[in-house]
Amino acid sequence: MRYAVPAALAATLVVLASGCGSPVSEPSAAPSAGPTRSASGAVPAPLTPTAPPNGPTDQNKPTGWIVGTVTAGGTGPCYGLETDEGVPYALHSTAGIRLDKGARVRVKATPSRLLIYCGPGKLLDMSAAEPLR
């Protein structure tokens, strides 16, 4: 039994079949002439570091003291804090620190290694808190 094949399908099959038997070229074993330059003429930076970094490499995780307004208070272990810039933080502390919602505070915090949820924001471990006037 013979079937009619639409012209567009037949053309597609011919294009696909033509690439099936082409030989694969081997990569050149010739050595490189050195680093290639971009269109602007600049040579790209080396891929391996030449020295360890001089400072923190993750600028998105603050350490030290943070000032803001308490958005979720109580005696813990989870708290909420929002900075004057509008950055939300989820704070965790098992020290039983009391923070009142709406209070302006300064907290000492470090990046958390815990896998817990203390609310919206960047999770930090809080070790101290001081009220601001």
Inside any domain, residue 14: no
Distance separating alpha carbons of residues 65 and 130, to the nearest angstrom: 10
**Secondary structure E strands in the chain:** 64-72, 78-83, 88-92, 104-111, 122-131
Which residues make Cβ contacts (< 8 Å) with residue 123, sequence separation at least 6?
A: 89, 90, 91, 92, 112, 114, 116, 117
Integer angstrom CA distances of residue 28 from 19, 25, 61? 22, 9, 46
The CATH number covering residue 95 comes to 2.40.50.500
- Give the global pTM: 0.53
- Which residue has tokens 């933080």? 89
- Per-residue pLDDT tens for 36-57? 666 666 766 666 667 777 765 5
pLDDT at 51: 76
Q: How many distinct structural domains can be found in the chain?
A: 1
Inside any domain, residue 56: no
Domain that holds residue 113: 64-131
Inside any domain, residue 10: no
- Per-residue pLDDT tens for 14-34? 545 555 554 444 545 555 555
**In the structure, what pLDDT confidence band is assigned to residue 83 with cuts at 50, 70 and 90?**
very high
Amino acid at 67: V
- Apex 90 CA angle, 66 and 131, nearest 5: 40
Here the tokens at position 127 are 């070790």
Inside any domain, residue 82: yes
